[in-house]
Structure 1
């Protein structure tokens, strides 16, 4: 379980404020009905120790605003402005460690009744320190959950809708109570969708395989990045439906996402994946990803928003 203290400053109701002052009423519409959307963005401490590298910030800001369209949200910000606010907030917090950035757009009025139109919208952003969400240096143990992934025509799976994450919580709780690290969820058609809060890849016969965006999955930014890296490495790629039985005979498997990064899977439902260790394709993709975000020489440096951190006078 990830628990971490908020960094000192947040963005709330149009202003930069101390994080402990960014509070809402218990009657807030989003709290009562789950009428919010959010993003998850990582900032990595560069190897120079003085820069935070935010991974694909413009893409995350655009996806946040795309998700907001499902809420019919009306805000005085576009994606570029959201990205600017995030950069300013990083500067104000001046972290010297890896961070997780959580922007949240929500229905802010104290109004009764589940609806969307005509309710005031707000943007809030906070940050926490974050290292590993799931292990990345050793394989994790997953199970196929009995909870199905929510369908796109029930709750939009392309948006990070806060209320939909009860679906993820039920699956992950079940997995942890059964002694696993996380869950794999099937969709209504009985095909593999994704993890409880991450996209899923498998490897068979040297090909990297992942479920299509039409399989009730989140259109993951890390997922899209790894597909690009794999193509450039000459790794064959298949985007197609994955049957449950394929999970038991694949050579490698891993979860990916902003939170989990690239988390290798060692077993599924108690059955070893390959030899149960981190596979060569998984390891190669990890190498490319972490070299990039740590500021090493990389052809993908255009995906980083580099924020120079200036410590207050007298700070060490």
Structure 2
């Protein structure tokens, strides 16, 4: 899309530039957030901003924009590009000196194929391990190459997603998703202490499940739990709630999306498309 936000201004993409000495470019010293807008509404914008600020505190990067600034930036980018349904990426780098660099751009929303939700994703267990003791494990940092390598390896092996274990062999997360399992009527997801990113969609699903009367558990998850679960699904800002029906070539549960997954997907879609989300003016 033509227009983007850079350090407080809307600029044309072709003219946007950051310093060649920006530490985000040189060292991956920075953070990012992927957000999604629905009909001009940005889902849980405040939660994305809070997570960015928490990560910035870990990396000692000053955040150069307030929540209101971010709302205005989102408003400007969506309006200027005349788009309502989009994937938005907010990037914060440590800059080249004392000042941080903030970038926001939108991309056309490319939904996952409906067929994928009907049959479910296939995943493989990655050789890449998540270091749960690292301060970066809970930060959505620009050091994202391990995730990309894990996902590319999964695709070479004919799968849609990669499942990462932590250094102790417990399940952590997907390369671009959080993991949920349905076990004996309970909804189980790896704890944050397992080296998991505190996903915005993950938290929304936990809240929806609790409101729907499901018992939710955040704990260490053994790899063997996948074969014991009646259902498995993944969550993310763009994929929303995605069934996972095969792991390493073996079916999970019935091998088809289950009733809990379908119910939570329906509730999530109702919530993201309902009232109460920040909506830019003029769209």
**In structure 2, distance between residues paired with 1:131 and 1:209:** 29
Q: Is the 8 A contact 1:193 1:216 kept in 2?
A: yes
**SS class of match (2:31):** strand
Partner of 2:174: 195
* Deviation for aligned residue 1:77: 2.0
1:106 corresponds, among 93, 100, 103, to 93
Q: Is the 8 A contact 2:232 2:244 kept in 1?
A: yes
- Return the TM-score normalized by structure 1: 0.84
**SS class of match (2:119):** coil
1:58 corresponds, among 46, 55, 66, to 46
Partner of 1:29: 23
**In structure 2, distance between residues paired with 1:36 and 1:55:** 23
Unaligned runs of at least 5 residues, structure 1: 1-6, 46-51, 110-117, 296-300, 311-316
Q: Does 1:20 align with 2:14?
A: yes
Matches within 5 A, 1:21-100: 21-45=15-39, 52-96=40-84, 98-100=85-87
Q: Is the 8 A contact 1:58 1:83 kept in 2?
A: no
Alpha-carbon displacement from aligned partner over 1:139-186 (angstroms, at most 9, x marks no partner): 010011111013342x422211101x1111121122111111111000
Change in 2 beyond 3 A, CA 1:25/1:283: same
Partner of 2:138: 158
**In structure 2, distance between residues paired with 1:13 and 1:85:** 10
Unaligned runs of at least 5 residues, structure 2: none
- Higher deviation after alignment, 166-175 or 76-85: 76-85
- Root mean square deviation of aligned Cα: 1.7
* Deviation for aligned residue 1:25: 4.1
Q: Is the 8 A contact 2:6 2:104 kept in 1?
A: yes
Alpha-carbon displacement from aligned partner over 1:28-83 (angstroms, at most 9, x marks no partner): 321121011000110012xxxxxx12100111111112222223122442233223
Q: Does 1:305 align with 2:278?
A: yes
Q: Does 1:146 align with 2:127?
A: yes
- Return the TM-score normalized by structure 2: 0.93
**In structure 2, distance between residues paired with 1:33 and 1:221:** 26
Q: Is the 8 A contact 1:136 1:261 kept in 2?
A: no
Matches within 5 A, 1:264-279: 264-279=243-258
